[in-house]
Amino acid sequence: MDSTGTTRAEGSGARFVTTHWSVVLVAGRTDSTRAQSALARLCQTYWYPLYAYVRRRGHSPQDAQDLTQEFFARLLERHTIANADPNRGRFRSFLLSAMNHFLAHEWEKLRAQKRGGGRQILSLDLARAEERYDLEPADNSSPDKLFDKHWAGALLEEVLNQLEAEYQQAGKAGLFAALKQTLTGTHESQPYAVLATRLGMNETAVKVAVHRLRKRYRELLRVEIANVVADPEQAEDELRHLFTALAG
């Protein structure tokens, strides 16, 4: 099992066997502490796309904050997860479906309660979320398409955070800060000479460092993708879907 809680099968063709979402699905009808922890971790990472989705559906910032907080509180308290369809298998799809059900059936009840009374089961920086939402460029895409784009962005941000943490733990925070720009663009477009001068390294060493950074980034990306699908066979399809969403 690696540091993310993902178990790999033996052999060179290792596949993801137990991921955060599969743990939740398997243990969804129990009070499994492991399942609750896995679900909380996923919710903590991927709550912003839902907040933005609620705002896109026309709810005010205050209402969106209350709705998002209450939605996650109920999700973590109840056995809602038992209703997840393992055949669909994607945490992204489950969350969006559950939120749509919540908006359709629970919104009026929540409005009748005291405003701002959402329970803080998760620590969500909702004030910062609204600032982030206001800074986003105008986009005429449907709420569903924007949700997928936000989801893809949250996933890539999580991967980048994990990668940065690894470099920091290895005492290479400065190297990561200098090289993270190389995660985008082609190999040919990278300013190797400039980076070499800045880091006091030769260009060959910089190219090797960039190769290692990109390789580890791809590894962490695949791990995170596997963490939000129940079946390893869905990982490649999910990866393609999310990059299409980002490009749209």
Query: How confident is the model over 187-238, as pLDDT tens digits?
Result: 889 999 999 999 999 999 999 999 999 999 999 999 999 888 878 788 899 9
User: Is residue 206 within 8 Å of residue 176, measured between CB atoms?
Assistant: no
Residues 45-98: tens digit of each pLDDT: 999 999 999 999 999 998 898 889 888 888 877 666 766 666 667 889 889 998
pLDDT tens digits, one per residue of 135-164? 998 888 899 999 999 999 999 999 999 999
Mean pLDDT for the stretch of residues 29-33 = 63
pLDDT (0 to 100) of residue 121 = 62
Q: Which sign, positive or negative, has the C-alpha torsion 58, 101, 88, 95?
A: positive
**Rounded mean pLDDT of the chain?**
83
**What is the rounded distance in angstroms from the CA atom of residue 63 to the CA atom of residue 111?**
8
Amino acid residing at 57 = R
Scanning 116-191, the segments in alpha helix (DSSP H) are: 126-135, 143-169, 173-179
* pLDDT for 28 beyond 70: no
Contacts of 173 (CB under 8 A, 6+ apart): 164, 167
- Please provide the size of the chain in residues: 248
